[in-house]
Every structure is written in structure tokens, then in C-alpha cells.
Amino acid sequence: MGKKDKKRRRAEEAAAASAADAPAADAPAADARATDAPATDAPAAEAPAAAAPAGQAPAGEPAQNQALSRKAYDKALKKLHIELVKLQEWVVAKGLKVCIVFEGRDGAGKGGTIKAITERVSPRVFRVIALPAPSDREKTQMYVQRYLPLLPAAGEVVIFDRSWYNRAGVERVMGFCSDEQADQFLKGVPLVERAMVDSGIILLKYWLEVSPEEQTRRLKSRFEDGRKIWKLSPMDLKSYSRWYDYSRARDLMFAATDSAHAPWWVAPSDLKRNVRLNIISHLLGRIPYEELPRDKPELPKRQKRGGYVESAHPFRVIPQTW
């Protein structure tokens, strides 16, 4: 078994480890794809199997899995976090450049998935980009221009919480650009992504596919939860009513930009915990990495007090409420 096979097997075993103590139906599903197009030709990426594994949903349909329990989810996520730390060390040591794009409708679970990926790794290596609306100056530039300076340098993983594909989705549907401008973007972006991959960037593009019923439930919950109300904007409410306009825009986007060098990967996202584990497992299998040797650390002895005297400064201590 080669190093790549061992690496892929290690990632798959980490994702499935929680199933040992849970019913088989609770195990995370394998990755789902939009089409059977060849895999990206980013450095060292391996082509997936032509046929979907048993139990995997057809393209664009929610997986018929059961929701993972919190216990099973936490157990699997911990193992995957350990693998992400190994990946992080490999990316830095080998100077890899990784770019991960997350797209999907409002409420599809992009933010929660990104948080699950990044909560145990260094923000100096894993950078999350969520750009606001373009400025008046940026509106006069080539559309992808403001994204180019944010692409990863050696030793970085850059995650886009929405990306240059805004033009193909929200801007087209909500009238912020013309159909002609959107079509021009779709014609040009495969060339930009080809240049990214040719420069050594490992590019992964994920579309989180949520059902209309689950999107409704999630958006309504934002009305009632003070922790989530900030996620809801007037634009979200307008776009909610245009489900099929977004579906058409998505279909056009896939048709134009699901390429061999930069394929789209569809992740059914009605089950939040499941989709997070599925995506982390998938990206670990798509990025080449190995565990680097590490000496077991030991804490050194502290220095002696010497002549140090505790300060008499009247420090302001916060109230000990809890």
C-alpha cells in the first residue's frame, strides 16, 4: 500500500471511528458529487471512484442518513480535528497552497461547517474570508480582481465563505448584474481557476445542498434566537422567495464551471452534524499529507523567584459572577 493510499485510509478510518459504538445508520456517508466528471488535477489529488458508494445520495438529493447523536458526532469530530492538525503541519512544512470555496443557499450550513474545520487549527494557517459587498471602486474592477490578493501563499489554507461565485448566484438572481455579465463571468472563471491550479494551488469547491423544507426551518429559527438574528438580512428574505431562480442559476454555474481541474463537490446538508463530518473527511482525502514526526514536549523548569516581589498595584479585577 503506497503513502497516498495509507493517507486516504487514515482519513476514512478517522471519520468512521465513531460508528463502532453507534448503529450503522449513524455513520457519516461518503462524499457526494454533482457529476461523474474527473477529479481535479491539483497536485497529488487522486481520482475518486466512478460509482458512488452504497448508501450515497444521487447528485442533488439529500442523503437518507439518520442524524448523528451529539456523542457520536463529538467523538468523530475529535478524530478528524487531530487529522486536520496533522494536515496543518504538513501544509506549513511542505509549503502547500490550499484554497477551499464554500457556496450554497442561505441557511445551507456553510458557516457551521467552516467553524467545525477551523476551531482546532491555527488562524495563522487557516484563514477564513467572508467579503462584504464590493465598494464603488471595486465595482469598476475586473470582477475576480478583489479575490486574487486573498489567495493562499505557501503554507496557507484559505477558506472562502462565499466567493467569486457570488456573481453567478446572488448577483444574477437579485439583479446586481446583468445576465450578460453573469454569462461573461461563467465563461472566464474556468480560465482563472486553471491558472490557480497551474500555479500550485489545491482548489476545492463545495456546494452545500439544503432542501426547501430545511431551509425554511433554519431561517425561521433565526427569528426566534437572539444568537442568530444577526444572520438574517433583508436580502435573505428577498432571496428566500426566489428558490427556483437560484436553482436555475446554480445549474448554469455547475454546467459552466464543473471542470476536470476544478470540480464542484455537492454535500447534502439537511443534517448539520453529518455534513460537517462528511466534508472534513472528504477534504482530508483530497489534500496529500502525511504525519510528521514530533518529539514529545516536556515543560522546562521555572526559574527561581530570586529577588522578585509581588506588585502592590491596585489591579482592577473583573467581577467573579460565575
Taking only the tens place, the pLDDT of each residue in 238-254 is: 889 999 999 999 999 99
The arithmetic mean of pLDDT across residues 69-81, rounded, is: 98
**3-47+57-286, which class in CATH?**
alpha beta
For the chain, first and last CA: distance in Å?
Answer: 54
- CB-based contact 110:102 (threshold 8 Å): yes
The pLDDT assigned to 41 comes to: 37
Backbone angles phi, psi at 90, to 5 degrees: -70, -40
Output the CA–CA distances (angstroms, integers) from residue 310 to 154, 313, 314, in the order listed: 45, 9, 12
pLDDT, tens digit (0-9, with 9 covering 90-100), for 104-148: 999 999 999 999 999 999 999 999 999 999 999 999 999 999 999
- Total-model pTM: 0.80
Q: What is the dihedral of CA 71, 72, 74, 80, to 10 degrees?
A: 170
Model confidence band, residue 57 (pLDDT cutoffs 50, 70, 90): very low
Asked if pLDDT for residue 36 goes beyond 50, the answer is: no
Residues 6+ apart with CB under 8 A from 98: 91, 152, 156, 157, 158, 201, 202, 204, 287
The pLDDT assigned to 1 comes to: 52
Asked if pLDDT for residue 99 goes beyond 50, the answer is: yes
